[in-house]
Chain A
Amino acid sequence: MLRILHDTKYDFIRHWKKAAVITIAWIIVGLGFLAIHGINYSIEFTGGTLMQVTFKHPPHIDDIRATVDAAGYPNSEITKFGSDTEYTVRAQPHASANSTAGDSTGTYIQKALQQKYGNDVTVGRSEFVGPRVGAELRTKAAVAVLISFIVTLIYLAVRFEWRFGLAAVIATAHDVLTTLAFLAMLRLEVSLTVVAAILTVIGYSLNDTIIIFDRVRENLRKQRKESLYDVLNRSINETLPRSVLTHATTLAATLALLFFAGEVIRPFAWIMAFGIFTGTFSSIYVAGALLLWIERKWPRSASGQGKGTARAMAEERRRSTQESVVASR
């Protein structure tokens, strides 16, 4: 039997203060990036035109810019896309143009480029999004995430206990923040695919948290004479081999996407790769530490509904407070 990290006894929770400092610093730096550069929304959200153009020979980026400028789109963003011969052009319609002309932007730019480069240039893809669609998408994505949080909270409250639910949801919200910080630092473009990636990270991290909480629930039912602190540590250690293996296979799939699936998928893969780390981190430090904190803040009454978990945890709390009193002496 090949075993990794079998029967470990690391004290994970002890480091929660350090972990909190690191993650808060990370989020603040990320928010700083956001404050300076703003969110780099894709045209799906801002509206506008995006074209992916392939050249036979590597062109000079200034030439492309000059051509697009001359076509009447002076503030366009021209970026290299993967290889030397692939570029994306992102343009906004004329401010003066009437509302229906925006969708022709791509055609104008295409004609201008073909005039300059002849058959050396092909337009692989051209997308136009009107301004209203973008604004609508932004609210819809946010609403979807919020509702999924609420649904999760309710489910976990029913299956576990509201304290577990709250800890898990806050941990997941933390993942959203760190991931946003990450994409701000990499200056990744926020597209619908990236939103999907963030949602996957949410699901993945929640999964991880629930696996650990399930262990906590189980260990609490066994009514060992252990504090919640120890139960948490034990549960994390017991699920460690599973965590390592699942993260390994997920990371393998993510890296395959990152390196082999091409430029369009790359932002998705980057976020997922980061998500594996932040998901693992938050399950241990954020969710675990929070559960401990919530339990101290809002201890439940011993005369609970007679649920195994509740009773065990109530006894637990009494014991742990006694212990902490002893410790403080």
Chain B
Amino acid sequence: MSNLKYRIGAIVALCLLSLWALFPRNVKVQQRGADGILRDTIQRHVPLRKGLDLQGGTYLALEVDESKQAIAPDKIPDAIERALKTVRNRIEGIGVSEAVVQTQGKDRIVVQIPGIQDPERARQIIKDQAFLEFRITDKTQALERVLPRLDQVIRDKGLAAPTTTASAPTKPAASKGLQGLLTGTDTVKTDTSKAARKDSTKTDTAAAVIPTTGGPFSSLIQQSPGGMPGEYLVDSDNALKVESYLALPEIKAAMPPGKQMLPSNDSTVLQSKVYKLFYVVDAKPIVTGESLTDARPNTSPLEGTIVQFTLDNIGGRRFKTETGRHVHDYMAIVLDGRVMGRPPIIQSAIGTSGQITMGQGRDIRDAQDLALVLRAGALPVPLRVAETRTIGPSLGQDSINKGFRAGAIAVVLVVVIMLFYYKFSGVLAVGGLALYVLYTLAILAGFDAVLTLPGLAGFVLSIGIAVDANVLIFERIREELDRGKTVRTAIDEGFRHAMPAIIDSNVSTILTAAVLYQYGTGPVKGFAVTLIAGIVASLVTSIFVVRTFYMIWLQRSRGAQTLSI
């Protein structure tokens, strides 16, 4: 009797514990704010958060982009760790709450933003490396001297062959489209049509240029007439080709010592032709964005959209001496390897503040985003998007509705089968099944699991599989009854004999699930957690709970001669 009391007590306690685990509550969390100070913040902790596929939102996985910057493989984890902070700051900067930013494995950052309206913007903000440099433009005409060498490199690589010119046209089209998308939605229409037109005419113009002037590289660039030293013009159709040439390691090596040629975001119109600007600059920056303490977007009637920045004391002092030494030179403001606007002339030594001109007609939001990424700091390494997933909120809701409908139908079918076949014992099994659902959900909440669509499917399926242990036990009880045992002994023996089979089959499944949890990724991992929770709950309910139900029944019926099973 007292044994039975303890059993009932244990079941009730488990139920209460499960309910507690499943109830939303407020928890105090120490969190580092945007200013870097730890504070206690009250967070609403909702167990079994819906995954992005159920509530809608954006998932981004970022990894180190080795194509942009060489980095030793063993340095990647450290770089990712540092990049994580920057990414987190940036995400907080755009004002999304409940975003999850964490590392996955050693070389990946995962960002999950529930219910974001503009995934493209978030992606861009995260991706920008925001590495700011100030470099002096070259005034020694150093490039002219190496042009034959550069031409030779291109020829040696066989890149000037007609095949490359033919494949090149798609590139400007793509980048044009991208530019249009990033600046605003209304310009897209004209941009894509322009791109399409360019596709058809491009090959002719490119082919026409090459034979007229010298080498494959020098023919593409021309010195800016009357421009500042180190400034070059490139027909906008060829700009991407030049950029891809400049990215070649052989070309980089052939450049004049200590110099680099960088593209600019600016263009100019000469004789009704659009030219992109390129600059030859010092390879070594005078100051980098690491010294930056603040950046604010602004508009100026003269220069259009600008971002004003402030440097810290050390950076400011360096900036002052360096600019003092280069008075009357031009200084390029380089962001992520691209010169921003036309380099301004240095009138006198500059102190701790300056500005980046983004040009007329640029959306103030672009300036806001740039200021944000500058403030949040540069990424220690360039990142590239390895994976994105964006799910609309209505699709998520639809998935939930369908998932729950399927779950309800599954439960009804399983209950009907059990009641039909096992009658009274079936009722006990169904009671156990109800507790199974409760316990499983509670264990999942304990794991802090996220409810995803595959997880939901796995859970529905587990309802069908969960009764297996009950079935094994009931069949054993039937066998014992067939042998003429009394009801009480038949139940005892039935549970006892079914045990090895239940243990072995479930333990082997748990082992499999544990391996999946250890070696699987993403959804497979979530699935493994669902599986483990289901098995544990099923073991508890079938072995312990249903057994207790039988004991209660035996107690009440006081030596029943028949068992409905």
Residues in A lying within 8 Å of B, measured CB to CB: 1-4, 52, 70-72, 94, 96-104, 106-108, 111-112, 115, 122-130, 132-133, 137, 140-141, 143-144, 147-148, 151-152, 155-156, 159-160, 192-193, 195-196, 199-200, 202-204, 206-207, 210-211, 214-215, 217-218, 238-239, 241-242, 245-246, 248-257, 259-262, 264-265, 268-269, 272
Cα of A140 to Cα of B104 in the assembled complex, Å: 14
In the assembled complex, B351 has its CB within 8 A of some CB on chain A: no
A193-B523, A195-B524, A268-B454 known; A250 vs B509 contact (CB < 8 Å): no
Are A192 and B188 neighbours in the complex by a CB distance under 8 Å?
Answer: no
Which interface residue of A99, A103, A239 has the most chain B CB atoms within 10 A? A103
Are A260 and B461 neighbours in the complex by a CB distance under 8 Å?
Answer: no
Are B192 and A2 neighbours in the complex by a CB distance under 8 Å?
Answer: no
A245-B471, A262-B402 known; A152 vs B508 contact (CB < 8 Å): yes
B123: chain A residues within 8 A (beta carbon): 103
Are A249 and B414 neighbours in the complex by a CB distance under 8 Å?
Answer: yes
Are B508 and A155 neighbours in the complex by a CB distance under 8 Å?
Answer: yes
Considering only residues 157-195 of chain B, those with a C-beta below 8 Å from chain A are 167-168, 170-171, 173-174, 177-178, 181, 185, 188-189, 192
A97-B174, A206-B512 known; A2 vs B421 contact (CB < 8 Å): yes
Cα of A160 to Cα of B503 in the assembled complex, Å: 12
Partner of A210, one of B65, B386, B505: B505
Cα of A180 to Cα of B421 in the assembled complex, Å: 34
Cα of A129 to Cα of B61 in the assembled complex, Å: 9
Which interface residue of A104, A115, A152, A238 has the most chain B CB atoms within 10 A? A104
28 contacts between A and B (CB under 8 A): A2-B420, A72-B174, A97-B170, A108-B177, A111-B192, A115-B189, A126-B389, A126-B390, A130-B63, A132-B386, A133-B387, A148-B516, A151-B515, A193-B523, A195-B524, A200-B531, A203-B513, A211-B472, A214-B501, A241-B478, A246-B467, A246-B471, A254-B464, A260-B402, A261-B460, A262-B399, A262-B402, A264-B453
Are B524 and A246 neighbours in the complex by a CB distance under 8 Å?
Answer: no
Are A127 and B461 neighbours in the complex by a CB distance under 8 Å?
Answer: no
Are A124 and B391 neighbours in the complex by a CB distance under 8 Å?
Answer: yes
How far does the Cβ of A254 sit from chain B's closest Cβ, in whole Å? 6
Residue of B nearest to A143 (CB): B519
In the assembled complex, B215 has its CB within 8 A of some CB on chain A: no
Are A264 and B399 neighbours in the complex by a CB distance under 8 Å?
Answer: yes
Known pairs A151-B515, A192-B524, A252-B464. 12 more at Cβ < 8 A?
A96-B174, A103-B388, A104-B181, A108-B177, A115-B192, A128-B387, A129-B387, A202-B512, A207-B508, A218-B500, A261-B402, A261-B406
In the assembled complex, B446 has its CB within 8 A of some CB on chain A: no
Which interface residue of B398, B456, B461, B508 has the most chain A CB atoms within 10 A? B508
A128-B388, A249-B464 known; A265 vs B457 contact (CB < 8 Å): yes
A214-B500, A256-B413 known; A196 vs B472 contact (CB < 8 Å): no
Are B387 and A130 neighbours in the complex by a CB distance under 8 Å?
Answer: yes
B177: chain A residues within 8 A (beta carbon): 72, 108
Cα of A203 to Cα of B501 in the assembled complex, Å: 14
Are A72 and B173 neighbours in the complex by a CB distance under 8 Å?
Answer: yes
A1-B565, A143-B519, A246-B471 known; A155 vs B410 contact (CB < 8 Å): no
Are A272 and B516 neighbours in the complex by a CB distance under 8 Å?
Answer: no
A103: chain B residues within 8 A (beta carbon): 123, 384-385, 388
Are A107 and B120 neighbours in the complex by a CB distance under 8 Å?
Answer: yes
Residue of A nearest to B563 (CB): A1
How far does the Cβ of A211 sit from chain B's closest Cβ, in whole Å? 5
- How would you classify the secondary structure of chain B's contact residues: helix, strand, loop or mixed? helix
Considering only residues 386-442 of chain B, those with a C-beta below 8 Å from chain A are 386-392, 394-395, 398-399, 402-403, 405-407, 409-410, 413-414, 417-418, 420-421, 423
Are A246 and B465 neighbours in the complex by a CB distance under 8 Å?
Answer: yes
Cα of A248 to Cα of B174 in the assembled complex, Å: 55
Are B519 and A127 neighbours in the complex by a CB distance under 8 Å?
Answer: no
B174: chain A residues within 8 A (beta carbon): 72, 94, 96-97, 101
A253: chain B residues within 8 A (beta carbon): 410, 413-414, 460-461, 463-465
Are B406 and A257 neighbours in the complex by a CB distance under 8 Å?
Answer: yes
Considering only residues 279-298 of chain B, those with a C-beta below 8 Å from chain A are none
Are B454 and A245 neighbours in the complex by a CB distance under 8 Å?
Answer: no
Cα of A202 to Cα of B467 in the assembled complex, Å: 18
Which interface residue of B185, B387, B478 has the most chain A CB atoms within 10 A? B387
Cα of A217 to Cα of B392 in the assembled complex, Å: 54
In the assembled complex, B252 has its CB within 8 A of some CB on chain A: no
In the assembled complex, B326 has its CB within 8 A of some CB on chain A: no
B341: chain A residues within 8 A (beta carbon): none
In the assembled complex, B320 has its CB within 8 A of some CB on chain A: no
Are B454 and A159 neighbours in the complex by a CB distance under 8 Å?
Answer: no
Cα of A108 to Cα of B188 in the assembled complex, Å: 10
A129-B387, A252-B414 known; A241 vs B475 contact (CB < 8 Å): yes
A217: chain B residues within 8 A (beta carbon): 500
Are A196 and B65 neighbours in the complex by a CB distance under 8 Å?
Answer: no
Are A262 and B398 neighbours in the complex by a CB distance under 8 Å?
Answer: yes
Residue of B nearest to A3 (CB): B478
A207: chain B residues within 8 A (beta carbon): 465, 468, 505-506, 508-509
Residues in B lying within 8 Å of A, measured CB to CB: 53, 61, 63, 65, 67, 119-120, 123, 127, 167-168, 170-171, 173-174, 177-178, 181, 185, 188-189, 192, 196, 384-392, 394-395, 398-399, 402-403, 405-407, 409-410, 413-414, 417-418, 420-421, 423, 453-454, 456-458, 460-461, 463-465, 467-468, 471-472, 475, 478-479, 497, 500-501, 504-509, 511-516, 518-524, 527, 531, 565
Are A248 and B417 neighbours in the complex by a CB distance under 8 Å?
Answer: yes
Cα of A124 to Cα of B410 in the assembled complex, Å: 27
Cα of A180 to Cα of B482 in the assembled complex, Å: 42
Partner of B511, one of A141, A152, A249: A152
Partner of A261, one of B168, B457, B479: B457
Which interface residue of A122, A152, A251, A257 has the most chain B CB atoms within 10 A? A257
Are B170 and A125 neighbours in the complex by a CB distance under 8 Å?
Answer: no
A100: chain B residues within 8 A (beta carbon): 65, 127, 384-385
Partner of A246, one of B171, B458, B468, B521: B468
How far does the Cβ of B156 sit from chain A's closest Cβ, in whole Å? 22
Cα of A256 to Cα of B462 in the assembled complex, Å: 12
Partner of A107, one of B181, B406, B464, B514: B181
B472: chain A residues within 8 A (beta carbon): 211, 242
Residue of A nearest to B191 (CB): A111
Partner of A128, one of B178, B385, B423: B385
Cα of A101 to Cα of B408 in the assembled complex, Å: 44
Cα of A159 to Cα of B503 in the assembled complex, Å: 10
Cα of A274 to Cα of B65 in the assembled complex, Å: 42
Cα of A113 to Cα of B345 in the assembled complex, Å: 46
What 9 A-B pairs come out closest when comparing CB atoms?
A253-B464, A252-B413, A124-B395, A261-B406, A256-B410, A214-B501, A262-B402, A103-B385, A250-B464
Partner of A260, one of B120, B406, B519: B406
B395: chain A residues within 8 A (beta carbon): 52, 124-125
Are A147 and B192 neighbours in the complex by a CB distance under 8 Å?
Answer: no
B478: chain A residues within 8 A (beta carbon): 1, 3, 241
Cα of A3 to Cα of B474 in the assembled complex, Å: 12
B421: chain A residues within 8 A (beta carbon): 2, 4, 245
Cα of A106 to Cα of B59 in the assembled complex, Å: 14
Are B521 and A137 neighbours in the complex by a CB distance under 8 Å?
Answer: yes
How far does the Cβ of B131 sit from chain A's closest Cβ, in whole Å? 15
